[in-house]
């Protein structure tokens, strides 16, 4: 994007759920879209770990209609992306079941957990390229690391999402395990050295950064 939108980040609340679900549906393959109830529970269970990014409404364009409505939308805010997470009890042996799509946060989250699991991050495709996802990611790690006693952060990334994988590498995450056939196989896959649909588990130590 030539003109990057001004981004503000805040904690999500229950009133944000419809906008969050719209971005979820715009961002992911139908087979990996998680339910509205899953996201509502994530907000309720761990509000510190669920952030949204807002931009001015006229930053999301829709051609001529956007130009006509620009003045009416001035200073209005639109949710452009989100990131959700939960706290897990740390274990060197990572339980694959914890990563299950549509799992209930109440089955895995612990307020005293020492590992931050980043469960989902997505940005409206209309404003990708503005580093909104990276901003959400960095803000979440910084905020939760300061507020909670954490040993590490962990996430699962599709082998087809090479841009996301490279961003996580730059943020200090390293591959620790893989789950075969976790995601649906996509056409025109760019999976690097892995087969399409592999879930790559990545972890970053946080204990030395506090």
Residue pLDDT, tens place only, 167-199: 999 999 999 999 998 988 866 556 566 678 899
Distance (Å, whole) CA 96 – CA 114: 18
Under CATH, what is the fold of the domain 8-209? Aminopeptidase (3.40.630)
Q: Quick count: other Cβ atoms within 10 Å of Cβ 106?
A: 11
The confidence score (pLDDT) of residue 61 equals 56
Tokens, residue 178: 């893989």
The confidence score (pLDDT) of residue 39 equals 98
Let me know the angle formed at the C-alpha of 167 by 200 and 181, rounded to the nearest 5 degrees. Answer: 20
- Write down the domain spans for the chain: 8-209
Distance (Å, whole) CA 4 – CA 126: 12
Residue numbers in the chain where pLDDT is lower than 70: 1-5, 58-75, 186-194, 208-210
Burial class (CB in 10 A: 0-12, 13-18, 19+), 107: exposed
Q: Look up the pTM and report it.
A: 0.85
Helices then strands, counting H and E runs in the chain, come out as 6, 7
- Give me the sheet containing 8-11, strands edge to edge: 8-11, 51-56, 77-88, 115-123, 152-158, 199-205, 174-179
Segment holding 31, helix H or strand E: none
């Amino acid at each position: 994007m030539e003109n990057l939108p001004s981004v503000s980040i805040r904690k999500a609340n229950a009133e944000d759920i419809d906008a969050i679900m719209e971005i979820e549906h715009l961002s992911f393959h139908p087979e990996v879209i998680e339910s509205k109830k899953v996201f509502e529970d994530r907000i309720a269970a761990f509000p510190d770990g669920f952030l949204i990014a807002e931009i001015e409404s006229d930053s999301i364009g829709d051609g001529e209609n956007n130009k006509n409505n620009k003045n009416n939308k001035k200073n209005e805010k639109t949710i452009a992306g989100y990131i959700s997470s939960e706290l897990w009890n740390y274990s060197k042996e990572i339980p694959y079941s914890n990563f299950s799509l549509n799992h209930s946060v109440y089955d895995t989250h612990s307020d005293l957990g020492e590992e931050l699991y980043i469960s989902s991050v997505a940005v409206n495709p209309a404003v990708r390229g503005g580093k909104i996802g990276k901003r959400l990611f960095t803000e979440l790690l910084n905020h939760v690391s300061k507020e909670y006693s954490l040993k590490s952060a962990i996430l699962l990334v599709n082998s087809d999402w090479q841009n996301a994988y490279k961003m996580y590498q730059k943020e200090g995450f390293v591959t620790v395990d893989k789950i075969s056939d976790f995601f649906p196989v996509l056409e025109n896959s760019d999976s690097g050295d892995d087969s399409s649909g592999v879930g790559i588990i990545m972890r970053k130590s946080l204990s030395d950064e506090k």
